[in-house]
């Protein structure tokens, strides 16, 4: 199955928070999108790995992605090394995405920046024909995505570009709230965390408002690039 966009995340819920609206918008435009979570988020203070997987499946249905996988890397302890890179390379070559979305290159959670570097390096290695990988005993063709874009998470990073998600913001929040073990749930009796408060949801909204304002949009999501982003003309810029 060839995908137009493949979004990677260190943990289930990273994609929903960082680029859920962008995914919804592109799926509405007819693009095929998939998600690959690196870990099950098993070190999270609230919930557990089994519950997070169920929540991720529910969120995937709301987003409308055609595939969502979990690689089962060790939460908090995966590395940017050959073993992990090859697993990522296999998925990139299997789905042949034109665009890769992945974690912020700098963030509060150390897994986010580590995942960012891991995915970025793996995208490069995926394009090298001398690195051999297989799927069901068939050799993968090498594949180089056209671009890697990093969504912005907890820490404020000045975006290189933003995408208007005004028409999809409410649905994005619906997908985020599938992770009831992690975010605000007045019925939960688990330990309170920095992301389980009503204020955190207000933060998500205010960030989207902040990114949207310069382009005259109600809500937007921001991204950073690894190379210059090109446009066909000055009139493509909003």
Q: What is the pLDDT of residue 14?
A: 98
Please give the pLDDT value at position 138. Answer: 84
- pLDDT attached to residue 236: 86
The reported pLDDT for the residue numbered 185 is 85
Q: Would 232 be classed as within a structural domain?
A: no
Range of the domain at 208: 5-227
Query: With 90 as the cut, is the pLDDT of residue 37 above it?
Result: yes
pTM: 0.95
For residue 194, the model assigns a pLDDT of 87
Average pLDDT over residues 5-23: 98
Residue of 160, 153, 210 lying closest to 176 (CA atoms)? 153
List, for residues 123-181, the tens digit of each pLDDT value. Answer: 999 999 999 998 778 888 999 999 999 999 999 999 999 999 999 999 999 999 999 99
Q: Rounded mean pLDDT of 54-61?
A: 98
> Does some domain include residue 236?
no
The reported pLDDT for the residue numbered 2 is: 96
Question: What's 57's domain CATH number?
Answer: 3.40.50.10320
pLDDT band at 119 (very low <50, low <70, confident <90, very high): very high
Q: In the prediction, which pLDDT does 179 show?
A: 95
Helix (H, G, I), strand (E, B) or coil at 102: strand
* In the chain, % of residues over pLDDT 70: 100
d(CA 166, CA 23): 13
The residues, ordered by sequence, that sit 6+ positions from 34 with a Cβ below 8 Å of its Cβ are 1, 3, 5, 6, 7, 65, 66, 67, 68, 69, 95, 97
Please state the φ and ψ torsions of residue 189, each to the nearest 5 degrees.
Answer: -110, 10
Q: Which residues pair with 222 in a beta bridge?
A: 162
Q: What are phi and psi of 173, to 5 degrees?
A: -65, -35
Output the pLDDT for position 46: 92
In a domain, 235, yes or no: no
pLDDT at 130: 96
pLDDT of 56 over the 90 cut:
yes
Query: pLDDT (tens digit, 9 = 90+) per residue, 179-200?
Result: 999 998 888 888 889 899 999 9
Assigned domain for 234 exists:
no
Number of domains in the chain: 1
């Amino acid at each position: 199955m060839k995908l137009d966009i493949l979004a990677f995340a260190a943990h289930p819920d990273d994609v929903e928070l960082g680029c859920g609206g962008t995914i919804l918008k592109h799926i509405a435009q007819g693009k095929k999108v998939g998600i690959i979570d690196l870990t099950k988020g098993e070190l999270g203070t609230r919930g557990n790995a089994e519950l997070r997987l169920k929540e991720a499946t529910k969120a995937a249905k709301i987003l409308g992605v055609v595939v969502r996988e979990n690689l089962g890397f060790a939460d908090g302890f995966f590395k940017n090394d050959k073993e992990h890179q090859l697993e990522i390379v296999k998925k990139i070559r299997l789905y042949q995405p034109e665009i890769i979305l992945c974690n912020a290159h700098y963030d509060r959670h150390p897994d986010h920046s580590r995942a960012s570097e891991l995915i970025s390096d793996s995208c490069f290695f995926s394009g090298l024909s001398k690195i051999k990988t297989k799927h069901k005993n068939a050799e993968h063709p090498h594949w180089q995505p056209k671009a890697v874009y990093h969504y912005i998470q907890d820490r404020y990073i000045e975006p290189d570009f933003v995408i208007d998600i005004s028409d999809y913001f409410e649905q994005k929040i619906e997908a985020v709230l599938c992770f009831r073990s992690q975010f605000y749930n007045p019925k939960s009796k688990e330990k309170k965390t920095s992301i389980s408060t009503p204020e955190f949801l207000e933060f998500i909204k205010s960030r989207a408002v902040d990114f949207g304002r310069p382009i005259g949009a109600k809500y937007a999501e921001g991204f950073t690039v690894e190379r210059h982003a090109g446009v066909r003309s000055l009139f493509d810029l909003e």
